[in-house]
Chain A
Amino acid sequence: MGNVKIRPYEHLKKEGLYNLDADIPTITYNHIGKRGIRRIDGYAKASGKAVYTRDIQIPGMLYAKVMRSPYAHARILKMDTKKAEALPGVRAILRYDDPEIKGRTLNGSVGGPDRMASQFSGFALKPERVILAEKACFEGQAVGAVVAADSEEIAIEALRLIEVDWEQLPFILDQEEALRPDAPVLLPGAESNKLADFREFVEKGDVEKGFKEADKIIEFKARRHAHLWAGAEMPSVVVRWTEDRLELWNHSQHPYPGKLLLSEQLDIPMNKITMYSPYQGCSFGERCNPADFSINGMNVLAVLTAKKAERPLKLLFDRSEKFYGESGDMMVSYFKVGAKRDGTITAVDMKNIFAVFQCTPGIEHFLDNTRILNLRCKALTADVSKAPAWWDRCEQLPNTFCLTLVFDHVAAELGLDPTLVALKNDGCEGHGMDWLAKYKREHGFPERDSLKECIDAGKKAIAWDKKWHPPGKNTLPNGKMHGIAFTWDHEWDDVRGTGSAAVWVENDGTVSIVAQQADIGVNPWTAYCQIVADELGVPVEDVTLKYLDSDHIFSLMSPDGSCNLCSNGFIVRKAAQKARALLLDLALNSFEGLDVESLDIKDRFVFEKANPENRKSIKDIAVLAMPMHNAVGTWTQPPIVGWAWHNHGIWGDALETGRPRLCRQAHFMEVEVDTETGVVEVTKVVNVNDVGKAISPETIEGQMYGGTYMGVGRALTEEMVWDPQTGVLLNRNLLDYKYATIKDCVAADTIIVETQLGHGPYGTVGVGEDIATMIPTLLGPAVFNALGIWIDDFPITPSKVLKALGKA
């Protein structure tokens, strides 16, 4: 072949791709994994000085509000805006039939040649995607008009003055009802309400054969009702046009892709758009898909209304308008499971019927982390008259729902300890533990049994061997029934992601990480500083993340796509390594006769390895590297900036290119059930997470106890309730949509296991999504253990408990 020259771009791509092998650390951990490192967003947030989109005001700014459909399914026959236009303080009204918005649909975000196609918008599979619609397909949809006025109150008053003649149309709320042959079809011209999905049918092995091999066949039905993110900050966007230049301050996890979508949608050159990302008041995936209405649609409406008003404006939603979607696990499930007496599961057959959208089909974790050979999943999705659904911390909810229920039903039916059933079936894509051990060996990972380590730690913490009892057999002295339960899973939080960042050594030797990242609270910036400090050999106090709030090239993953640190950790590490090489190269001027290999960096000094006394401070070296200087600076050197890009690749069954899940997690819960009132109290939660390698232990624990509250809320109280007579969502507020307060649940025990089996840098894997996703369904087996009755209908409210007990 001779010498094949690798083109620079190919070289860059090669070094930025994920490597399947274990990531063996080459540095000393001075800050990585240490407690007590001050979080760099802490003061700004505690003092209230951190600025969120909602806080932003710019000179001359108007306030814009969107009209909402009062009906679950209705069409505008006529709309008269004359009275609204006459209201003093109204500056512009964008009508659904104005040429710039008429019929305009959301555009999609999936990459490749079809990337902007509408069918990918929001991944929500809601068939009607008009941004400012003439016809509403759910109550609360943006329809009719947007008003820009001098104040929010005037805008709201103007919306009230718009006169609309509506034609009401039939609506459906229940997905099984929507699939009946006699159901009215919601989408004009469609044959039925069934929505097409490429993941409709998943099959592996032969389930009929698996059932024949089983000692026991277990069948049951389960249901999850609608819930949603209900994040802290209500959405808003601030928009300013200056000639043909457009600025947006955006509540979105994806500022850069959001800019791409907006550019395609409205034909504005990307280099004329600046997308700022202030602090983000919660996200949980709600603000992550820039193609969703609440981001893409909102941005389009704000930009067009600002254009029409010829003024900057802030378009804002109130709390009731934030109930614009649901988690994509509104599902009814039918299970048939075959198991042997020893707990070996021989076949799982499931049918899941989703409303609006299926986040995930429900079977995937059986594929990802069990040795079960025979699996089948039919996943149907029906359109109903509810808002678009998508992922809500996180899209794995259907998978975790099915995994927990199947494993705990099997253990209960066989009278086995559920921890043993988990260990009996742990594996990967039909392979057992021997296969996993071989994989670990061949790829340089430690040969540790993650699930066993997690289970052992959790059992000890909750005193499982002492407390676990047959169902319905433990009445406490206070008269309540005690229940205890366990579930498990792999950790999926290392799946994918692409991002970029630069590390810049400034002239005084301090270090800046330069990248845009929408901060949503998982303390990533401190973790990146820890990594960069250790890679460079400087104290963590010398490193900061430049609060780069606009889209200047470098952009780090926000925690979505289920990947944050596993992608971004590689990015900042590679960038730090490049900056280190540049710094050493520049240092050679001060170390005559030496080469780069003979130098090292520690505690703000570059030194000769063989003679540490021979040293020079980073500051004295970096002082030459000037991004700019005045005319006489002939001594200047180029700035010390290393930048990197990383693509974290894929996981799953294409093992030649993907990777198996190696880290596991175990969750334990205790409850007390009052059989008189039906009230369930969660009295203890133990979360055990194998995070591979902890970078910031306090941050991990924050996810572990924090996610517990979200999980307990989802399990006990969180439910969106629609009026069956009108299709109107009844609890569009935080008094009637209840989630956990400090008084509703005890703090969870948090146990961090570090096996270094993660696919992230230094063997890490994430932790942010699992707990809030696993805890809700764990309540089911806990209540079963208390009462001896399954209530597979979530949330498990007191009325359902009483009904199950025959008392209501």
Chain B
Amino acid sequence: MKHLCPYCATKFDAFEALKEHALSVHRGEAVPLPEGMIRLTVNGQAYQIQVQPEWTLNYLIHDKMGFTSPKMFCDRGACGSCTVIMDGRPVLSCMSLAIECDGKKIETAEGIADAGHPLIESYVKHHCMQCGYCTPGFVTTAKALLDRNPNPTEEEIVEALGGNLCRCGTYPQHPKAIREAAGRLRRKGGE
């Protein structure tokens, strides 16, 4: 039986040989993660989780980790409701494999709300929600837009939200709310 070094994958016939190799060659190195183990930062908090290769990021953060904001609406890639921010970019969590997200920083609508981002209050004020099922996907898409463009025009907002479906038709309120939140953020930044 062969023994595999978890650091460098060198094969050894005897476990004792592996042990000696590990202690001499890899002493002081961080223990490598087992296969399928990923590290994620979600809303500023660190997680280390064992995932299956077929799990989507949505399944991981919604079903397994209990963040309810990335919603399954269209079922695969057509509606934007499951959008989370990954390393600053809005991504469809239903179209991303969890196992490929090792080391990523994720933000969800819960985290945006808990951080006191002005988008949330301006979304409430402007009635950007009716049934509310698609709303968190709009919030994450909008937050990602504001992160890279602190003063977006109406056209830029419409372009950014072009992939988010809302069956209740709340669309006209989003640019208003996003512009207002952007203004508040800029004022705060200028203080």
Contacts and interface: CB of A to CB of B under 8 A. Distances in A.
Interface of A: 36, 38-39, 41-52, 54-55, 57, 153, 229-234, 279-284, 318-320, 519-523, 698-699, 701-702, 705-710, 733-735, 739-743, 747-748
A710 B120 contact: no
A229 to B, nearest CB: 8
A478 B127 CA distance: 36
Contacts of B166: 232, 709, 742
Contact of A743 (B69, B81, B162, B167): B162
B75 A234 contact: yes
Contact of B132 (A36, A318, A521, A709): A521
Nearest to B136: A48
Interface residues of B, number: 55
A699 B127 contact: yes
A51 B110 CA distance: 12
A47 B69 contact: yes
Interface stretch (B17-25, B34-42, B168-176): B168-176
A733 B110 contact: no
Interface string B116-150: 00011001110111111111100100000000000
Contacts of A38: 124-125
B72 interface: yes
B70 interface: yes
Contacts of B67: 48
A230 B75 contact: no
B54 interface: yes
Instruction: State the main secondary structure of chain A at its contact with B.
Output: loop
Contact of A54 (B72, B76, B123, B174): B72
A55 B112 CA distance: 19
A282 B133 contact: yes
A608 B170 CA distance: 46
A706 B164 contact: no
Nearest to B137: A48
Given A283-B131, A741-B162, A52 B125 contact: no
6 contacts: A38-B125, A231-B167, A232-B79, A233-B131, A234-B73, A319-B74
B113 interface: yes
A706 B170 CA distance: 6
B74 A733 contact: yes
Given A50-B68, A282-B168, A699-B127, 6 more contacts: A39-B124, A48-B70, A279-B132, A283-B131, A709-B169, A710-B167
Nearest to A710: B169
A47 B120 contact: yes
In this complex, which of A50, A231, A708, A739 has the most chain B Cβ atoms within 10 angstroms of its Cβ? A50
A194 B71 CA distance: 42
Given A39-B124, A710-B169, A49 B162 contact: no
A50 B133 CA distance: 9
A49 B73 CA distance: 16
Contact of B73 (A57, A232, A707): A232
B75 A42 contact: no
In this complex, which of B77, B110, B136, B158 has the most chain A Cβ atoms within 10 angstroms of its Cβ? B136
Given A46-B113, A706-B168, A55 B130 contact: no
A283 B164 CA distance: 19
Contacts of B139: 46-48
Nearest to A709: B169
A733 to B, nearest CB: 7
B182 interface: no
B164 to A, nearest CB: 7
A75 B133 CA distance: 38
Contacts of B71: 48, 52, 54-55, 232-233, 281
Contacts of A229: 167
B78 interface: yes
Contact of A734 (B74, B108, B159, B174): B74
Contacts of A698: 127
A288 to B, nearest CB: 14
A41 B123 CA distance: 11
A51 to B, nearest CB: 6
B109 interface: yes
A95 to B, nearest CB: 27
Contacts of B123: 42, 46
A788 to B, nearest CB: 31
Interface in B27-78: 54, 62-63, 67-78
Contact of B165 (A279, A739, A748): A739
Contacts of B168: 232, 282, 521, 702, 706
B161 interface: yes
A523 to B, nearest CB: 7
In this complex, which of B73, B167, B168 has the most chain A Cβ atoms within 10 angstroms of its Cβ? B167
B170 to A, nearest CB: 6
Contacts of A734: 73-75, 78-79, 165
In this complex, which of B72, B77, B139, B166 has the most chain A Cβ atoms within 10 angstroms of its Cβ? B72
Contacts of B173: 702
A281 B73 contact: yes
Contacts of A522: 130
A281 B133 contact: yes
Nearest to A735: B78
Contacts of B113: 43, 46-49
Contact of B158 (A51, A735, A743): A743
B169 A705 contact: yes
Given A43-B113, A706-B169, A742-B171, A521 B129 contact: yes
Nearest to A740: B169
A51 B133 CA distance: 9
Contacts of A320: 75
Contact of B127 (A52, A283, A702): A702
A485 B181 CA distance: 37
Contacts of B163: 741
A250 to B, nearest CB: 15
B109 A48 contact: yes
Nearest to B80: A741
Nearest to A54: B72
B132 A44 contact: yes
A279 B131 contact: yes
Nearest to A702: B127
A55 B69 CA distance: 9
A698 B78 CA distance: 29
A46 B110 contact: no
A635 B111 CA distance: 47
B135 A45 contact: yes
Contacts of B70: 48
The 5 closest A-B pairs by CB, nearest first: A48-B69, A45-B132, A281-B133, A42-B124, A706-B169
B98 to A, nearest CB: 14
Contacts of B127: 39, 42, 523, 698-699, 701-702
A410 B172 CA distance: 34
A704 to B, nearest CB: 10
In this complex, which of B108, B113, B133 has the most chain A Cβ atoms within 10 angstroms of its Cβ? B133
Nearest to A711: B169
Contacts of A39: 124, 127
Nearest to B109: A48
Given A42-B124, A57-B63, A319-B74, A705 B133 contact: no
Contacts of A43: 113, 120, 124
Contact of B131 (A230, A282, A739, A748): A282
B75 A50 contact: no
Given A46-B109, A319-B74, A232 B129 contact: no
A232 B131 contact: yes
A223 B128 CA distance: 35
Contacts of B130: 521-523, 702, 706
A41 B130 CA distance: 9
A49 B108 CA distance: 11
Contact of B124 (A46, A57, A742): A46
